[in-house]
Amino acid sequence: MIKVVICGAFGRMGTTIGGIVTKEQDMQLVGGVDIKEGTFFGVPVVSSDNLAGFLASVKPDVLIDFTVAAATVVNVPIATKAGCAIILGTTGLNPAERKGIDDAIIKAQVPAVISSNYSIGMNILWTLIRDAARKLGDYDVELTEAHHRYKKDAPSGTAKTILQILQEEIGPREEIYGREGMKERSSEIGVHVIRGGDIVGDHAVMFASNYETVTLSHRAYDRAVFAEGAIRSTRWVVDKKPGIYGMKDVLNLA
Ligand SMILES: NC(=O)C1=CN([C@@H]2O[C@H](COP(=O)(O)OP(=O)(O)OC[C@H]3O[C@@H](n4cnc5c(N)ncnc54)[C@H](OP(=O)(O)O)[C@@H]3O)[C@@H](O)[C@H]2O)C=CC1
Ligand SMILES: O=C(O)C1=N[C@H](C(=O)O)C[C@H](O)C1
């Protein structure tokens, strides 16, 4: 039985993942972490202050984190010290925060999967974008993403991963975040962010030349798609050697 604790228990992703974990035959939801303490799916939810003691008592195999950067940098190192494998989905970490997380995972010698997007489709799209960028590197490139009104970080973690792929293949190019006023387009990547309503997650990359455009896009219809990917990663990570893995390892896309 894989014992799971979910960080961000009362959040959109936390509740979606919690609901799935409780239905999996080989998994046991043993607790949650959030700002307010309480219960979810009949198990205790503790705050960061009580996390170390809680982990020592329930001894989970995996901690799944979908919160905010400020919470991740506190909770994940506590969990790695307790020997938990980590599934990290939180986006919006700055480079120093991300390095702190990587260091904690390596120091504690635990396995971890870190991905800005746990959907299978997006992980496939990343490989298609890389291939298209290699072949259409002289086209103009524009990236758009749209999410629900409550999303705090912008651009999305997924958009940042796409930018990294584009920079690796056709960069270095200046990234222009929105446009206004008088300026001719040059060799750049345009990045455009929409926030509104309950949009689950849309991303598109357009390669444009004089006579054609090629657009590679992905639309998530339900958070279950990310949750299912996190569950798949949880099952995958438990018997892995210490180290930092991505969804491409889980899906064997490397
Ligand atoms: N990698 C992927 O595939 C995906 C990643 N994400 C990312 O996951 C993260 C969460 O998204 P979402 O579920 O929509 O966000 P929510 O705001 O719905 O959930 C986050 C939860 O974490 C809680 N929280 C805040 N601070 C702490 C803390 N110190 N300790 C424990 N819990 C805390 C929040 O409480 P409160 O509301 O009171 O602040 C909230 O309940 C985001 O970074 C998002 O970008 C989302 C979907 C897919
Ligand atoms: O906050 C969200 O909702 C999402 N966040 C992730 C991101 O920032 O890329 C993944 C997905 O797009 C949903």
β-pairing verdict for 111-114 and 174-177: unpaired
pLDDT digits (tens, 9 = 90+) for 145-177: 999 999 999 999 999 999 999 999 999 999 999
How open is the CA angle 89-221-202, to the nearest 5 degrees?
70
Question: Annotated binding site: which residue ranges?
Answer: 8-13, 34, 89-91, 115-118, 148, 157-158
Domain 2-118+223-250 in CATH 3.40.50.720? The answer is: yes
| Annotated domain spans of the chain | 2-118+223-250, 120-220
Residue 181 CA to ligand 2 center (angstroms) comes to: 30
Residue 153 CA to ligand 2 center (angstroms) comes to: 9
Question: Annotated binding site for NAD(+): which residue ranges?
Answer: 8-13, 34, 89-91, 115-118
Tokens of 162: 């796409």
pLDDT digits (tens, 9 = 90+) for 73-116: 999 999 999 999 999 999 999 999 999 999 999 999 999 999 99
Does the beta carbon of 123 sit less than 6 angstroms from any atom of ligand 1? Answer: no
pLDDT for residue 125: 98
Q: Is the ipTM, as predicted for this complex, more than 0.90? A: yes
In the CATH scheme, what architecture does the domain 120-220 have? 2-Layer Sandwich (3.30)
Atom of ligand 2 nearest to the CA of 203: 12
Residues with catalytic annotation?
Answer: 147, 151
Angle, to 10 degrees, between the axis of helix 157-170 and the axis of helix 120-135? 30
